[in-house]
């Protein structure tokens, strides 16, 4: 990996995290990991910038060649996993890896919800309707299925009396409400808005996983305490993500509907 530079988007916490992991595991030296924001013009000239926003570039400073996306990552990983590059060139595997990479890359801004800082290089990926809709469908199905173990966990609370069907219908009702609210946006902004709502649901479900596994060993009071802390965190994350999606200031009426519907939802499931 001599003379190689991996160029990452320093406004993307996910990109910062996994490239740091490459350094910690010895796949890259610290100086081989460079952010877009501090890249000199000479190196920027070696990158297809539009492609580089969607697929992370790996520059060979000696030959001048640049690899992108899954090819760049396979090149890095091949140092510790020598067979991975060969496996990655098998046509069906390469097709699958490329689709998986694009699924994450085209949705990374909706995942992290962080805008480029003032004066910084905007490395936000191109907006892909196909991958955004796929993102919404995949995680809506995932969140819906995860309600089954969540339901079993909530049954340990004395004031929870819903059936799984009632819980699923409540979830579906919130989803339909948000789809109706999305109709007030342009098509692109509607998918951005729904992406943030979907991420909030996903974060909530993932943070409930510890309770799902530990609920039998916990007192009801401990579960309630965790749920209260989770509610506070999700409320903070909701405000942050709605600000990112330009909803918090420009469409306060949507925020009012959200808060009212959430209150009704909580009253319904914990009546």
Give the model's confidence band at 81: pLDDT under 50 very low, under 70 low, under 90 confident, else very high.
confident
The count of other CB atoms within 10 Å of the CB of residue 247 is 24
Mean pLDDT of the chain: 91
How many CA atoms lie less than 13 Å away from 109 in the CB half-sphere?
Answer: 21
Give the angle 61-63-66 at the CA atoms, nearest 5°: 70
Q: Indicate whether this model's pTM tops 0.95.
A: no
For the chain, helix, strand, coil in percent to 5 are 65, 5, 30
pLDDT tens digits, residue range 1-23? 678 899 988 888 888 899 999 99
Give whole-number Cα distances, 188 to 26, 176, 201, 257, in Å: 40, 18, 20, 21
* pLDDT value for 243: 94
Q: What average pLDDT does the segment 115-130 reach? A: 77
pLDDT tens digits, residue range 175-185? 999 999 999 99
Q: What is the DSSP letter of 217?
A: G
pLDDT tens digits, residue range 86-110? 999 899 999 999 999 999 999 999 9
> Under a CB-based contact definition with an 8 Å cutoff, are residues 195 and 178 in contact?
no
Q: What average pLDDT does the segment 20-48 reach? A: 88
């Amino acid at each position: 990996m001599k003379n190689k530079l991996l160029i990452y988007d320093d406004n993307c916490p996910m990109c910062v995290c996994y490239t740091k992991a490459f350094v910690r595991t010895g796949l890259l030296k610290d100086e081989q990991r460079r952010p877009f924001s501090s890249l000199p013009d000479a190196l920027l000239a070696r990158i297809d910038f539009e492609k580089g926003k969607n697929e992370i570039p790996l520059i060979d400073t000696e030959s001048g060649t640049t690899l992108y996306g899954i090819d760049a990552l396979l090149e890095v990983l091949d140092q510790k996993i020598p067979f991975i590059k060969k496996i990655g060139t098998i046509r069906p595997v390469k097709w699958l890896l490329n689709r998986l990479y694009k699924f994450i890359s085209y949705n990374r801004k909706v995942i992290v919800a962080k805008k480029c800082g003032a004066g910084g290089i905007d490395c936000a990926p191109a907006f892909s309707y196909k991958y955004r809709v796929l993102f919404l469908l995949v995680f809506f199905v995932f969140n819906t299925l995860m309600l089954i173990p969540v339901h079993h966990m909530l049954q340990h609370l004395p004031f929870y009396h819903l059936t799984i069907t009632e819980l699923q219908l409540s979830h579906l009702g919130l989803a339909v409400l948000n789809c109706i609210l999305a109709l007030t946006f342009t098509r692109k902004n509607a998918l951005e808005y729904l992406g943030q709502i979907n991420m909030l649901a996903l974060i909530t479900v993932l943070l409930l996983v510890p309770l799902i596994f530990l609920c039998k060993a916990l007192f009801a009071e401990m579960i309630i305490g965790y749920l209260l802390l989770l509610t506070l965190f999700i409320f903070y994350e909701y405000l942050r993500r709605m600000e990112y999606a330009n909803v918090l200031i420009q469409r306060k009426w949507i925020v009012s509907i959200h808060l009212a519907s959430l209150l009704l939802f909580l009253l319904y499931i914990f009546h």
